[in-house]
Amino acid sequence: MQPEHAFAAVAGMGILFFLFMAALVIMWIASLIDVITSDFQNPNNKTMWILLLLFLAPLATVLYLIIGTGQKVPKKAPERRPVEKRPQQKKEEVISRNGEWKF
């Protein structure tokens, strides 16, 4: 193998490693934000996940995405107010006093 090919192979592996690490950091930050903003069935789980994510970041990130998301309290959908129906106009209200249509 020629030296310039070896350098290209190492550079390519360096780029892949950088992309992998960037993805891992993004997933770690997203997991940490998700833990902080979520409610858990057991309040101690929140503390445990925060500590794990801070001290064992790569392993805890993968574990949280696999196990931790199932421990959260499901969020309820916001209640929708029923749409108020307008009262239907009577025929007399639609036609004006002089016999013309109201628009």
Asked whether residue 95 is assigned to any structural domain, the reply reads no
Tokens in use for 8?
A: 């290209």
Q: What is the pLDDT of residues 23-42, one digit of tens each?
A: 999 999 999 999 999 888 88
Domain count, the chain: 1
Residue 21 has pLDDT above 80, yes or no: yes
- Segments forming the whole domain that contains residue 37: 3-73
Asked whether residue 93 is assigned to any structural domain, the reply reads no
In the DSSP assignment, the letter for residue 69 is: G
Asked whether residue 79 is assigned to any structural domain, the reply reads no
> What is the value of pTM for the model shown?
0.61
